[in-house]
């Protein structure tokens, strides 16, 4: 059953193992045929597109059309979604404020940096039952007066900061200075 196939395979192998002689002019003839094909230009489409894009054209535009295009650009520029978002000014640095107020229910940080608005910067307890209150604010270079407002009625100066010298309003204030170097 298997003998004839083996004989066939043996003959095929013998044919395949027979040395083949190649004409010495084969290479030259193949290259001549290849040379007849049209040359393929790499990047030809891109070059054509570039030529199309850079070719000078004359555009006719009425003054009204020009104004309309300018207005469209202006509208796009003014209607950017980030226009009213706050960008950090150069030199802005974060400052941490800390005060100890054991019996306080609320503590606010108020000063030149938040229009002296007690609602703007409420301080946070450092822990659930902690008596330490903290707040962090970004400040640009300058000198700021500030104070802590405890329970909406008592003013405290910052014991860790220089005192404001001119307390015309009868309550203590402190000073923080933000430098640039």
Partner 1 sequence: MTVYWRRLGSGLVAATLVAGTAAAQRPDPRLERLDSITRPVVAALVDSARAAALPTEPLVQRALEGATKRATADRIVAAVRGLALDLGHARHALGPTASPPELTAAAAALRAGAPAATLTELRRVRRASLIVPLAVLTDLVASGVPVDSAAAAVLSLAANARDTDLVEFRRAVERDIALGAPPASATAAAVANAAVQVNAGARQQRPGRP
Give residues in contact with partner 1 (CB under 8 A). 110, 112, 115-118, 140-143, 145, 149, 155, 162-166, 168-171, 173, 175, 177-181
Number of Cβ within 10 Å of residue 44's Cβ equals 10
Cβ proximity to partner 1, 106 vs 131, nearer residue: 106
Q: In the bound complex, what is the minimum distance in angstroms from residue 138's beta carbon to partner 1?
A: 15
CA 172/CA 170 separation, integer angstroms: 7
Cβ proximity to partner 1, 63 vs 102, nearer residue: 63
Lookup result for tokens 């850079």:
54
Cβ proximity to partner 1, 15 vs 62, nearer residue: 62
Cβ proximity to partner 1, 48 vs 74, nearer residue: 74
Q: In the bound complex, what is the minimum distance in angstroms from residue 94's beta carbon to partner 1?
A: 16
Q: In the bound complex, what is the minimum distance in angstroms from residue 155's beta carbon to partner 1?
A: 7
Number of Cβ within 10 Å of residue 172's Cβ equals 15
147 near 161, Cβ under 8 Å? no
CA 172/CA 42 separation, integer angstroms: 79
Which contacts of 164-172 are long-range, i.e. CB under 8 A and separated by 24 or more positions? 171/147, 172/147
Q: In the bound complex, what is the minimum distance in angstroms from residue 110's beta carbon to partner 1?
A: 6
Q: In the bound complex, what is the minimum distance in angstroms from residue 82's beta carbon to partner 1?
A: 25
Lookup result for tokens 């894009």:
53
**Could you tell me the two tokens for 5?**
């196939």
Cβ proximity to partner 1, 98 vs 116, nearer residue: 116
Residue 111's DSSP bridge partners are: 146
Lookup result for tokens 């008592």:
154
Cβ proximity to partner 1, 27 vs 117, nearer residue: 117
Q: In the bound complex, what is the minimum distance in angstroms from residue 121's beta carbon to partner 1?
A: 12
């Amino acid at each position: 059953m298997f003998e004839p196939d083996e004989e066939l395979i043996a003959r095929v192998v013998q044919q395949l193992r027979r040395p083949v002689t190649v004409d010495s002019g084969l290479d030259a003839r193949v290259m001549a045929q290849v040379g007849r094909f049209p040359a393929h230009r790499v990047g030809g489409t891109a070059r054509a597109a570039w030529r199309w894009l850079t070719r000078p054209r004359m555009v006719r535009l009425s003054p009204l059309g020009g104004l309309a295009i300018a207005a469209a650009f202006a509208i796009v520029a003014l209607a950017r979604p980030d226009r009213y978002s706050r960008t950090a000014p150069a030199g802005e640095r974060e400052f941490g404020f800390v005060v100890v107020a054991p019996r306080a229910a609320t503590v606010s940080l108020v000063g030149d940096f938040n229009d002296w608005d007690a609602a703007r910067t409420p301080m946070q307890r450092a822990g659930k039952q902690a008596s330490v209150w903290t707040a962090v604010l970004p400040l640009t270079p300058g000198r700021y007066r500030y104070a802590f407002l405890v329970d909406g009625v008592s003013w405290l100066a910052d014991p860790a900061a220089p005192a404001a010298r001119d307390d015309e309003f009868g309550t203590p204030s402190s000073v923080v200075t933000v430098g640039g170097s």
